[in-house]
Amino acid sequence: MYLLGLGLVLLLMKYAALGPVADWSWWWVLSPFALAVVWWAWADNSGYTKRKAMEREEQRLKGRRDRTKSALDANYKNKKR
């Protein structure tokens, strides 16, 4: 995602002829987009994307379990009194 942001900034700077980017070759300006494609291909093929998605899902489930346990514990304490 950072590479896409960098690519967009460089593209806008080249288009608006701002700073030293205006003198750069289009190959240099568009290279972050190519690097983003390479990154996504690697991330998908290596399982990095799926592993991160599974970690997020586990965190979500753990948070839900913790909230449920604390709610049950609070209800138990209130009934006990």
Using the predicted structure, report yes or no on whether residue 76 has a pLDDT greater than 70.
no
Using the predicted structure, report yes or no on whether residue 70 has a pLDDT greater than 90.
no
Using the predicted structure, report yes or no on whether residue 79 has a pLDDT greater than 80.
no
The token pair at 31 is: 């290279």
Q: Which residue type is seen at 22?
A: A
Distances (CA, A) of 7 to 16, 30, 32, 37, 54: 14, 6, 5, 12, 29
Q: Is 24 helix (H, G, I), strand (E, B) or coil?
A: coil
Q: What is the pLDDT of residues 21-56, one digit of tens each?
A: 999 999 999 999 999 999 999 988 999 888 989 999
Euclidean distance between CA atoms 65 and 58, whole angstroms: 10
Average confidence score pLDDT of the chain: 90
